Amino acid sequence: MKFKIQNSSYGFLLLFLLGTIIQLRAQDQKSTVDSSLLERINYLEQQMNYHKSGDDHFMVVGLANFGFSSNKTTNTLNGISTTSKKSNLGDIDQFEFSPMFLWRHEKKYLMEFEPTFSQNGLGVSWADISYFAAPNVIIRAGYLVLPFGTYSKKQAAGWINKFATDPIGIADMPTSDYGVEVEGGLPLGDMKMNYDLALSNGLQLGNDGTVTSGYLVDNNTNKTITGRLGLLPFSNSSLEIGVSGMFGKVGTEGTSFHNVNGNMYAFDFNYVKTYVPFLVNFKSQYNIVDISNADYTTADEWATNYTFKNHSTSSFTQCSIRPTGIQALHDFELAARYSTYNTPSNSTWGSDQSAFAIGLNYWLSWRSVIKFTYEKYNGNSTGSEVLNAFTGITKSNTLYLQFSIQL
Amino acid sequence: MKINKNLQPISISIIVFVGILFITTINACAPTKAIAAKSGVQLWSENCQRCHNTPSPSTFSPEIWETVGMHMQTRALITENERDKIVDFLKSAR
């Protein structure tokens, strides 16, 4: 009996030892696997932290245009016609290199700076800082694009514009100025609206009645208010209609122009919708520029006094169709545009101008395009004959080939 | 522009009142449930093409999309909610 008990005890002891050894080996293997996994996870965490975004961010984007134009212009004055022909690589409408620098300071500030190099030399399109003050309220200061119409702010970039040229008149409007701005987009039930209000140094009146902008030093103590209200009445945001106004003194303090004011208005329309298999894009803008009456003097030796009604209008209407739903043709786009520009008669720069452009575009990617544009232009001078400013009738035909890319 | 001293408190009151009205109006603006329920991909397809072709999500890194989203909000004047949804979509669909 004693022998049996001893044998049983040895058996239990042996089993216990065997179980303990197996358990220890299993734990050892497990800890080896665990430590290997932990090392891997630690490494991945380090990699994640290495690539993790910071609060701030700096980047460079921008755009570039380059192309060729072939032009034939005929001018008829007093029954005599003269014709000139030109062909240019990288002319003023065809060459632009504009890097755009964006600094994001956390999620509240954004600094934007776009220098531009073109045939006009080196310039600055805008340089401003935006503060995202509240949901749908952005406050901006600096050299900013004025909220007058939508062309300058939204459609002028070469890779966005459906044509190789800007619409006449619209592109000649003052675009950027030094000032402050508040803007935002708002939901309105099924609709949306947006607002944009700027206070800037304002336009300055030239000695011939034209106005220009972008002066760091104001020519008077009055500031110019520019504002735009936009409404998107459809729930799919396909339609936007907007009205803009720009009001302020343009005359220089201490001169005979000191009381001259500028009142300007713009109406814009934008409709973009897919009608399978086509994407239809319709855009339009109408500008009115009214400068109050003033007496001007010619710069020549006779110093002739003259006056005129300083009223200008400019407009464009364009439509483009892209067969996005047809595989073989979805990179092509057809476009047509009609634009007008009427400047004051009896001034030294008066004319009634119109241009019709048709275009065929081939999209290499969503942001790079090759554009063929043919533009026919008519200009009838309404300049003062007394001041020798009448320049007759000008007609031109121009063919453009342009490559545009957003970088 | 000179303002009569007696009119200064009135002018300040009007500015404050208009300011409060402006902020209240902005905060009171709200979308319908259907509009609020729109996804990032739907907003991306509806809003980007108002000005240019819809961008490919693979064009930029998530960090860059954040910055581009802020820039586009200043240009297209989309709402902040729309911007966030579009940027989230562009970041996730790369």
Q: B-chain residues within 8 Å CB-CB of A270?
A: 50
What is the percentage of chain B residues whose pLDDT exceeds 90? 66
Partner-chain contact B70 A190, CB within 8 Å: no
In a domain, A10, yes or no: no
pLDDT band at B5 (very low <50, low <70, confident <90, very high): low
- Total structural domains within chain A: 1
Asked if residue B85 and residue B61 are part of one domain, the reply reads yes
Asked if residue B61 and residue B83 are part of one domain, the reply reads yes
Please give the residue range of the domain that contains residue A223.
56-406
Please tell me which of the candidates B56, B67, B79 has its beta carbon nearest to residue A102.
B67
Per-residue pLDDT of chain A (407 residues; tens, 9 = 90+): 455 556 666 767 777 777 777 777 767 666 667 888 999 999 999 888 887 888 899 999 999 999 999 999 999 999 999 999 999 887 656 789 999 999 999 999 999 999 999 878 899 999 999 999 999 999 999 999 999 999 999 999 999 999 999 999 987 777 899 999 999 999 999 999 999 999 999 999 999 999 998 888 898 989 999 999 999 999 999 999 999 999 999 999 999 999 999 999 999 999 999 999 999 999 999 999 999 999 999 988 889 999 999 999 999 999 999 999 999 999 999 999 999 999 999 999 999 999 999 999 999 999 999 999 999 999 999 999 999 999 999 999 999 999 999 98
State yes or no: cis peptide before A277, omega within 30 of 0: yes
Partner-chain contact B35 A189, CB within 8 Å: yes
Please tell me which of the candidates A136, A140, A272 has its beta carbon nearest to residue B79.
A136
Q: What ipTM was reported for this prediction?
A: 0.85
Alpha carbons A402 and A371: distance in angstroms, whole number = 5
The three-state secondary structure class of B29 is coil
Looking at residue B6, its pLDDT comes to 61
Asked if residue B43 and residue B64 are part of one domain, the reply reads yes
Any bridge partners for residue A68, and if so which? A89, A401
The count of C-alpha atoms lying within 13 angstroms of the C-alpha of A196, restricted to the half-sphere facing its C-beta, is 28
What's the token pair of residue B35?
A: 């509009």
In a domain, A22, yes or no: no
Q: Which helix H or strand E contains B91, and what residues bound it?
A: helix B80-92
State how far the alpha carbon of A400 is from the alpha carbons of A63, A71, A118, A176, in Å: 18, 9, 17, 27
- Total structural domains within chain B: 2
Please tell me which of the candidates B31, B49, B71 has its beta carbon nearest to residue A102.
B71
Closest CA of chain A from B81, distance in Å: 8
Give helix B62-76 / helix B80-92 axis angle, nearest 10°: 150
Please give the residue range of the domain that contains residue B25.
1-30
Please tell me which of the candidates A137, A154, A230 has its beta carbon nearest to residue B26.
A137
Asked if residue B19 and residue B49 are part of one domain, the reply reads no
Asked if residue B69 and residue B90 are part of one domain, the reply reads yes
Q: A-chain residues within 8 Å CB-CB of B26?
A: 134, 136-137, 184, 186
Asked if residue B38 and residue B24 are part of one domain, the reply reads no
In a domain, A4, yes or no: no
State how far the alpha carbon of A26 is from the alpha carbons of A20, A30, A177, A213, B92, in Å: 10, 6, 76, 81, 42
pLDDT band at B1 (very low <50, low <70, confident <90, very high): very low
Alpha carbons A220 and A250: distance in angstroms, whole number = 8
Of chain B, the end-to-end C-alpha distance in Å amounts to 55
Looking at residue A12, its pLDDT comes to 73
User: What pTM was computed for the model?
Assistant: 0.85
Asked if residue B79 and residue B51 are part of one domain, the reply reads yes
Beta strands in A150-189 (DSSP E): 176-188
Alpha carbons A36 and A24: distance in angstroms, whole number = 18
Of chain A, the end-to-end C-alpha distance in Å amounts to 95
In a domain, A220, yes or no: yes
Q: A-chain residues within 8 Å CB-CB of B66?
A: 53, 57, 104, 107
Length of chain A: 407
Asked if residue B81 and residue B48 are part of one domain, the reply reads yes
For residue range B37-60, what is the model confidence (pLDDT) as tens digits? 999 999 999 999 999 999 999 999
Any bridge partners for residue A373, and if so which? A359, A400
Looking at residue A51, its pLDDT comes to 79
Q: What is the DSSP string of A338-359?
A: EEEEEE-TTSSS-EEEEEEEEE
Looking at residue A92, its pLDDT comes to 54
